[in-house]
Structure 1
Amino acid sequence: MKGMSKVIGIGFLGLGIVGSQVLSYIKENKDYVEEVYGMEFLTKSVYVRDITKKRDVDTSDIYLTTDVTKIVENPNVQVCIECMGGAGMEETYDAVMGAIHNGKHIVMSSKKCLAVYGTKIIEAANQYNVQLRFEASVGGCIPICRSLMQMSKGDEVTKIYGIVNATSTYILSAMESKKITFDEALQQAKEKGFAENNSSEDILGFDTLNKMRILLRLGMKVDVDCNDVNPVSIENINDESTNREEPIIRQVFYAEKTMQDDINCFVGPQILKSDSMLKNVSENYNMIFVESKHSGLRAYYGKGAGGRETASVMFDDLIDVVQSNYRFEEIKPIGCNCLSGDTFEL
């Protein structure tokens, strides 16, 4: 099919660890994409904050710029891949909306931006008839967003819960298995690349809260105000708690619809039941359960962190946005009741 391939212009918004891995993925799979899909992904330009910075991927044939408008307003770019990472949430939001307003399909990774502005971004994508995907924002390599987008069309999701933060999971499981302190486990997580230098949002539960909000938009079509949920930190869990054979403690999220048409939510450390499947989640793995009215309980499991793993789902999203014509359903604001961990069992 070479010679007949449709050229798709790609623009990157950010080229850090994840962005570099996605660009490498595109380069490595060039022949495969042409052969199977009849397309050629051609990276036209990349927005970065420092052009002179040394990178892990060859950019010698790519236009680098510190002006984001050179990407979002480029008529030769059909898809923008957002990997802005450490950039401010507002800056990310402005760049994404600029791309949407200029008719670009979007593949996103910034979960905090999606958690806060996700409803506005989804509405804009529908309005401007562009495709939006953000699989990399929750669950690492687990295709949970794609599953919820399809599942909830013919079923009513009533409950979503699980473990979605690799940093906290590594810390707690290392404290259990290696009999080490919280600080020692955190340091190991950083050395293995499962934790940022500043891991406060992971430890305090805000990262998990952000991911829960994204999943609720897709699964239940609701927007929960984060001010209604008070995450519980794992920082006060000591080695005495984790040195026992039982119980096993993990940072979890839990959300269920109520008969009053609102949501019961919890984010924080939870003592797991002796027969809980979540007890098997350790190191950098995630596990998410979705319960629906007709299909019952489903489980999703996989690596929740890692540059290569994240890049793989963003590459899948890239193929999806140029082939699909998905339209998001209306998302409604909803009240939330903040639970305590002793009011439910997992």
Structure 2
Amino acid sequence: MQKLKVGLMGFGTVGSGVWRVLQDNSDKIIENCGFEIEASKILVRDLSKKRNGEIARGVFTDNPLEILNDENIKIVVEVMGGIEPAKEYILEAIKRGKHVVTANKALIASHGDMLLKAAKDANVKLLYEASVAGGIPIIHAIKESLSANRINSIMGILNGTTNYILSKMTSEKMEYDIVLKEAQEKGYAEADPTSDVEAFDAAYKLTILARLAFGIDVKIEDIYREGITNISPIDIEYATELGYVIKLLAIAKETNGKIELKVHPTFIPKGHPLAAVGDAFNAVYIKGNAVGELMFYGKGAGDLPTGSAAVGDIISIIREGTPNKMITQVINEKDLSNIKDMGSNQGEYYVRLLIKDIPGILGKIASLFGKYNVSLSSVIQKGKEEPAVSLVFITHETIELNVQYALTDIAKLPEVVSIANVIRVENI
């Protein structure tokens, strides 16, 4: 049996998952690619830390050169996370003619084009299936299975932490802070949850998917981003009453040659497949001009699902054989001008105001919406003669900037206590 040696850079959650998949599924891996894959060196930060007792201590190293200089290591698997030193190590591995597999979403989103060009110039492969949606093979699907399609739109629940929080708030009518604490105790959320709850994580993943789907050099700065920290049980209650579910969606869609890129809390109809995705699961919903509608669903994080994706990339490299068989996607830079400014997007909106319950206030607010061509589909008022009551609107489809202009004027009305929330609606 032929043996192929890989170097594993990082041995946290994902790194240990890669190692476990290689061990537990070795027979299946050999059957699928004809090689026994061995993690012959594993880079860690602290050699003194207690490690998996099944691994010989000599396998661990804190010196990256033991992987980079080893001519017998043909593939480097980077699962360290962060930008540096991961970028430096990947570039050095490429320079030395090694193929690279990475799960590093932040690095691929920020420097993916540069790294892919370096790999192409060096005639090696750089694969990154594990960087988006854990064990869901969405990158392969877009690059290979759907390559004959023009992708019209991608909408995804790409962050399990936020989906767990919103699902729990919906099913148990709990406050955001309480559910977040529970998510941290269960290991779904980090001690510092900013990357998840402020939607940075989902924005990185959307950057990667949008590049693949539309062939443009998307930057993380091109993605409009809004997190879930302002979602309250009352917003979820109104969503339910109106026939919607609130999800944090990453959305990329092309309309009349223009591309929208955004991550934000979204009202979606209860009957939509994404509305049923609960707990910490991920899902990606794609529309292609030939294939129609597809949804990919599964575990978007965790040691074994993400490890499975990384090992799948290793097997792909082995199966493809010689590096020059790889086709590198062409990025069309002139299309950058086609990324829409958020203010020009069109859609429907949920608006919740806190107002003083004074006769005539509804007419004043409706008049200001009308001033900016924002027509109203639904109006709900709950509470009466309290210091402040909720007044909720669902708009018809309109331009985002018009909604913002109208709300700026509405906020100046003395009867308006605050604009409590604005959530976009996708009637898909």
Deviation of 1:344 (Å)? 4.5
Whether 1:345 aligns to 2:423 is no
Please give the secondary structure, in 2, of the residue aligned with 1:311: helix
Q: Where has structure 1 moved over 6 Å in runs of 4 or more? A: none
Compared with structure 1, are the counterparts of its residues 191 and 301 closer, same or farther at alpha carbon in structure 2 (3 Å cutoff)? Answer: same
Whether 1:30 aligns to 2:112 is no
Q: Distance in 1 between the 2:53 and 2:187 partners?
A: 19
Residue 331 (structure 2) aligns with: 331
Compared with structure 1, are the counterparts of its residues 152 and 31 closer, same or farther at alpha carbon in structure 2 (3 Å cutoff)? Answer: closer
AA at the equivalent of 1:330? V
Compared with structure 1, are the counterparts of its residues 62 and 30 closer, same or farther at alpha carbon in structure 2 (3 Å cutoff)? Answer: farther
1:69 aligns with one of 65, 70, 85: 65
Residue 254 (structure 1) aligns with: 251
Contact 1:281 1:287 in 2 (8 A): yes
Residue 278 (structure 2) aligns with: 282
Query: Which is richer in strand?
Result: 2
Please give the secondary structure, in 1, of the residue aligned with 2:22: helix
Deviation of 1:28 (Å)? 2.2
Q: Distance in 1 between the 2:38 and 2:139 partners?
A: 26
Q: Distance in 2 between the 1:73 and 1:272 partners?
A: 52
Q: Distance in 2 between the 1:157 and 1:208 partners?
A: 19
**Bigger relative CO (Cα 8 Å, ≥ 6 apart):** 1
AA at the equivalent of 2:207? R
Whether 1:78 aligns to 2:53 is no
Residue 310 (structure 1) aligns with: 306
AA at the equivalent of 1:123? K
Deviation of 1:255 (Å)? 1.0
Deviation of 1:59 (Å)? 2.5
Q: Distance in 1 between the 2:129 and 2:110 partners?
A: 16
Deviations 1:75-129 (A, max 9, x none): 11001111103xx313111111111111111111010111101111222222222
Q: Distance in 2 between the 1:216 and 1:83 partners?
A: 22
AA at the equivalent of 2:253? E
The two structures have a TM-score, normalised by structure 2, of 0.75
Contact 1:142 1:304 in 2 (8 A): yes
Contact 1:43 1:62 in 2 (8 A): no
Q: Distance in 2 between the 1:327 and 1:147 partners?
A: 15
Q: Distance in 2 between the 1:301 and 1:100 partners?
A: 33
2:294 aligns with one of 284, 291, 298: 298
Contact 1:23 1:57 in 2 (8 A): no
Compared with structure 1, are the counterparts of its residues 173 and 35 closer, same or farther at alpha carbon in structure 2 (3 Å cutoff)? Answer: closer
Residue 98 (structure 1) aligns with: 92
Deviation of 1:241 (Å)? 1.7
Compared with structure 1, are the counterparts of its residues 179 and 131 closer, same or farther at alpha carbon in structure 2 (3 Å cutoff)? Answer: same
Residue 157 (structure 1) aligns with: 151
Q: Distance in 2 between the 1:326 and 1:125 partners?
A: 10
Q: Distance in 2 between the 1:250 and 1:33 partners?
A: 37
User: Alpha carbon RMSD of aligned pairs, Å?
Assistant: 1.9
Deviation of 1:289 (Å)? 1.4
Contact 1:194 1:306 in 2 (8 A): no
Please give the secondary structure, in 2, of the residue aligned with 1:312: helix
Deviation of 1:314 (Å)? 1.5
Q: Distance in 1 between the 2:34 and 2:187 partners?
A: 36
Q: Distance in 1 between the 2:26 and 2:57 partners?
A: 15
Residue 53 (structure 1) aligns with: 49
1:185 aligns with one of 172, 179, 187: 179
AA at the equivalent of 1:141? G
Deviations 1:58-88 (A, max 9, x none): 3315432222222123211001111103xx3
Q: Distance in 1 between the 2:53 and 2:315 partners?
A: 21
Give % identity.
Answer: 31
AA at the equivalent of 1:95? Y
Report the number of matched residues. Answer: 339
1:264 aligns with one of 243, 260, 264: 260
Q: Distance in 2 between the 1:57 and 1:146 partners?
A: 34
Please give the secondary structure, in 2, of the residue aligned with 1:242: helix
Q: Distance in 2 between the 1:127 and 1:290 partners?
A: 32
Q: Distance in 1 between the 2:31 and 2:285 partners?
A: 36
Contact 1:12 1:47 in 2 (8 A): yes
Contact 1:174 1:185 in 2 (8 A): yes
Q: Distance in 2 between the 1:256 and 1:35 partners?
A: 39
Residue 143 (structure 1) aligns with: 137
Deviation of 1:132 (Å)? 2.2
Whether 1:41 aligns to 2:123 is no
Bigger radius of gyration: 2
Q: Distance in 2 between the 1:270 and 1:184 partners?
A: 21
Task: Tell me which moved more, 242-251 or 16-25.
Answer: 242-251
Please give the secondary structure, in 2, of the residue aligned with 1:223: coil
